[in-house]
Amino acid sequence: MSNELEVEELAAMVTDMLNAMLFFAGVKKENLEAASKAYIKEIDFFFENEESDEEMGVDEIIGVVSQLKKRKPELFN
């Protein structure tokens, strides 16, 4: 198996995991694609307004989802 194929498979798995996480955070199933895109954009906004230069960890992911819920409530149940 080539490294390129492995990377593509991992990217697909991460996308599926992101969608599952957003679903359990309350995103309506029909809004998962839009929420995934909004989440990625929200990461930049989140770190732009944070004092920390730390990498993305559990606390930062929770912060991004919390911020997304406030800024895009129409995506959630």
pTM of the model: 0.82
Torsion of CA 10, 15, 18, 23, to 10 degrees: -140
**What residues form DSSP beta bridges with 76?**
27
**What residues form DSSP beta bridges with 27?**
76
| Spatial separation of the C-alpha atoms in residues 39 and 60, rounded to whole Å | 12
Domain segments of the chain as ranges: 3-75
pLDDT tens by residue, 21-40: 999 999 999 999 999 999 99
Helix, strand, coil shares, percent, the chain, to 5: 75, 5, 20
What is the pLDDT at residue 5? 77
